[in-house]
Structure 1
Amino acid sequence: MKYLITGLGNVGSEYNNTRHNVGFDLVDQLCEELGGSWRTDSHGDRAEVKWRGRLLILLKPNTYMNLSGKAVRYWLQKEKLQPENSLVICDDLNLEFGKLRLRPSGSAGGHNGLKNIQEVLGTDAYPRLRMGIGDNFSRGKQVNFVLGKWSEDEKAELRIILDRAVEVVKIFTTLGLQRAMNATAPPKPKPEHKQKEVSKKPDNNKA
């Protein structure tokens, strides 16, 4: 069994560590964890890694975000894969920072990369993992926010978020979509253990 895992982003060093490139960040981490290496190929950088008997074809399109569909369609056709055996990872400013949302299909939700993939494939029935970047920007500053660098506070949390997202991808490829959707829920806080009150027995020896 094999899967195409596509992280969306823009090419160029000026886009490194920006919110819009969190899809690239995720597949970079997945590639590193599973011992893969990137090579420049048709329509993007590609790496092949294995996870529990599955072949994962990782892709970072070099088409720029708004033309991502060209790269996704090319590699689906080349690898003879159906859209349901692929996963697209992207940022989402409609989700609060750190929230993950996995769906088997749906609208582009204003994301130009997803919109182009839908147009090129002719369907919205392809799994996508949205990673929340929040909407902490003032009126008219959306583009600056999306293409801006992570804040120091965000950087401190990002590694944990990427770890969670990597686990979701692994579950998607081994246990299926529904189990992976369940795994996107934020971890429940550990219950506080209240110390049991020990009733004091009266000291009969006291006068």
Structure 2
Amino acid sequence: MKVIVGLGNPDPKYHGTRHNIGFQTIDYLSDKYGISVDMKKHKGLIGKGIIEGQKVLLVKPMTYMNLSGECLRQVMDYYKLEPEDFIVIFDDVSLDVGQLRIRKKGSAGGHNGIKSIISHLGSMEFPRIKIGVGEKPKGYDLADYVLGHFTKDELAVYDECMPEIAGAVELMVWDEIDKAMNQYNKKVK
């Protein structure tokens, strides 16, 4: 079983913000694959289903971004999983808007949600999909930028890249991470 996790903040005021692109991606995958993400369990919202013939859990941690690892640890222990069974989707300010960067493992890179996950899972060895939200403009506070809402043009870019994220997930649930990286790690057109 693979666990696809989208990072975000649960308060409605954060809906549609850059930092919540992980939640938005889980919503997209939920709609695309008919998986209801409404079971309150393990400090998160969870949905069980099938993607490309593989059993999956879709997870939205309800702990707030910086404590996301608490939810993932509970999921890992309950289902007797390994860190490699998770696919974590989150925002990245070092990538252009809509650009994807898939990795097999890695450090937190300054992302507090990932830092929490690494701490709670005791490992950096989990695949991830970074979604570019663009570099913060000069003079902006980073927190204000990532908690800001997308522009209309940015939303159009995300509408176009969601099917690519789904395509990457379809490969990654079968551990075809190299293939996903080769196909989807590219610059935005």
Give the TM bin, normalised by the shorter chain. over 0.9
Please say if 1:45 is aligned against 2:45.
Answer: yes
SS at match of 2:173: helix
Q: What does residue range 1-207 of structure 1 map to in structure 2 within 5 Å?
A: 2-39=1-38, 40-174=40-174, 176-186=176-186
Q: Distance in 1 between matches of 2:139 and 2:187?
A: 33
Given that residues 31 and 49 in structure 1 are in contact (C-alpha distance below 8 angstroms), is that contact kept between their aligned partners in structure 2? Answer: no
Inter-CA distance 151–188: structure 2 relative to 1 (3 Å threshold): closer
Query: 1:43·1:62 contact (CA, 8 Å) conserved in 2?
Result: yes
Aligned 8 A contact 1:102 1:130 in 2: yes
Distance 2:82 2:169 in 1: 17
| TM-score after normalising by structure 1 | 0.86
Q: Which amino acid aligns with 1:98?
A: G
The CA distance in 1 between the partners of 2:187 and 2:140, in whole Å, is 34
After superposition, the C-alpha distances for 1:112-149 in whole angstroms (9 at most, x for unaligned) are 00011111112111111111111142224221110000
AA partner of residue 147 (structure 1) = L
Q: Which has the higher helix share?
A: 2
Q: Secondary structure at 1:60's aligned position in 2?
A: strand
Measure, in 2, the Cα distance between the counterparts of 1:147 and 1:188.
22
The ranges of structure 1 where at least 4 consecutive aligned residues each deviate by more than 2 angstroms after the TM superposition are 138-141, 185-189
Question: CA shift at 1:85, angstroms?
Answer: 1.4
% identity of equivalent residues: 36
Distance across 2 between alignment mates of 1:68 and 1:25: 16
Aligned 8 A contact 2:102 2:185 in 1 = no
1:131 maps to a residue whose letter is I
SS at 2:163 equivalent? helix
Query: How many residues were matched structurally?
Result: 188
Q: Cα–Cα, structure 1 residues 186 and 46, in superposed 2: closer, same or farther, change >3 Å? A: same
The structure with the largest alpha-carbon Rg is 1
Deviations 1:48-87 (A, max 9, x none): 1212321110000001000000111110111111111111
Whichever residue aligns with residue 34 of structure 1, its letter is Y
How does the TM-score come out when normalised to structure 2? 0.94
**What 5-or-longer segments of structure 1 have no aligned partner?**
190-207
Q: Deviations along 1:24-49, whole A, 9 cap, x unmatched?
A: 01111111111111222221100112
| Structure-2 separation of matches of 1:156 and 1:33 | 18
2:84 partner amino acid: E
Q: Cα RMSD (Å) of the superposition?
A: 1.6
Deviation at 1:18, TM superposition (A): 0.5
Describe the SS at the equivalent of 1:75: helix
Q: Mark the runs of 5 or more structure 2 residues left unpaired by the alignment.
A: none
How much does 1:185 deviate? 3.0
